[in-house]
Structure 1
């Protein structure tokens, strides 16, 4: 693609800021968004991520200047996908038990990103613009001349194994494990293994609610957690190859639809706005923690939040547990045993999670719904209870949590696909009553 770039080559930064980029000098109109004749015979097209009358500070939109408008496609027809689910209606009722899944190996057949999606847990309703879903992806081949657009929600890609090359209407992003990619609702993209022939695997958080934003810092002050300048948007890039047939796949109302197109949809030569895809390197996250006593709430590790209509009760929080120093005095340093009004779905990118040193493996998943008790396994409890409380660096680890105010329901595939850890609760069985008077 002409004009493509990688994050290391100096992409724009600043989450939510206004950007502009052009792959051909002079392609971006000056002073007018939609002139009578756009430069170089391009078409002006507006992509709106919020209602036109949203408050100015919350309004998200980007102007695209493209070789052909996106209306140029054939009629859509249903596309079957047995394992991609949407909203609470596609979940299964379960008892209030903790659940955990082993990593799911890649299928033997050759799959691209779309075909390799597997929905694990869901809640909410995209038509009501509430809720979230957590999917797994696994791919061994590129998408080729296939592009995907999710109208139901924005997508947060969390690579776990293998690097990705993500082509979007606004340009190209690269992401390896330890980085995340945020794709706005309604934006066309395709996901390919960055290394041809390499298999990739990871997680996807699909957010039906309010768009992800940075959390408020409150008493933390003006610095800490994720910094706006570290969210990197792409340079403009367009497909300058010969016209050839493409397939457009659209997720709309929980169903996949497909349509033919006679040319590449990645034909945007210039753009400006604040509705953009981003890549973020979690190594740039500035962790905040105690320097006196007690283990802080996991909310202190929030990277992005999708708020609900109740302040503090998020539609979805995306939280990470990266390398960090542990220095608290007279403190049980792993997470304590707890019950939470929020429902928690966790994944592990690499290393060990300090509360589950055995059994929770990279590529796996766990689910602790609202008020379901959970916490360190017996080995982690015994080890942490007897550990010398010297400063310690928790290193070579990256776990994450998708947290929602609504109950998360696993799919039939999650429960019956052969990867559910049916002995998960055994990790707490050795805990004894140690009460002594």
Structure 2
């Protein structure tokens, strides 16, 4: 039976803004308070989805969150009508209003961790929504994320959904941004690779000194247990705390994997040689041949990697066995990074081609091509069981483009977030979107 890796890209929401909310995310903080362009951001994301679809890759779309999150503000003591809640929050606690308007859910690499059926004990595809507990503005995402994923992957014969881990620091979980999977074929058993920044209970693991380590070892282990993964099919590795302190807040800012290949920076991990040997050995037992491509610090510094998002790229398998790397324009603008990539693709190695996309609106908030997508390996039967409304087609692209043009503003500043009309615009748009994507009632305003 044929299998695929399907990329489900996050649709950028109508409140896309630069709140500078993520301490440790250099791009997010450096562009704080600038005016954003939600319409351009959404169209840039859709253009990438369409391009991958036209290249022959399976592509889907994941709906954004309802923002502002009025229910979250009510839990913090703001009362009255929805408009009054927003007005009072803007007057008394503007940072909380900004947090409630966060569009960070567009980076669906953080939405959940996904294990394909070939790896799990019960032979189903397992999803665990990430608690994103490190940042308040992200910690409010997982209830809606769970409902949206449940509406997309509703067939209980093929799909299993788990609630987010306990919302405490010891189980900080950032989803697929710190998880990848190696396999010979997508439908065969593979090795799931969990990367953590710190241990909550074992002080033998060093921690960063400047920026927070968002993913814990204990969270990764809990997800592996929930998904019924075999010990021989799991490898845990620690991020280098020094690179976290340089702005590498997730592993997908410093490494990306696909198929049998890991593309990573020389300084990405601790105990690198031991980790590579474990990956090689376990993948060999699963019938695969692990291969790695290490980018030396002499060619690309960690600072270059963070500024260009070289590793926050999509590594995609082509039918001839070669790989395609999808990168943001910022890679082309960085002389050292672009020189490295030109040499990489001309060497006749595993990565044969690089394609560049304009994702400036996302990049300015600290998210590149890899942040925008959640990877789900599915066999033909499972793909047929996915809600067909979320699978990208030419007609769906046309409908979503028209929807964005109709509902999105082309400029949004912090002061605009205090406008109660923005909430009405967002709800009107999302109500229409759930009909386009055939999701049913997934947003609080549709349910309550």
TM over 0.5: no
Q: Greater helix percent: which structure?
A: 2
Structure with more strand by fraction? 1
Structure 2-normalised TM-score?
0.25
Q: Which has the higher contact order (CA 8 A, sep 6+)?
A: 2
Find the structure with the greater CA-based Rg.
1
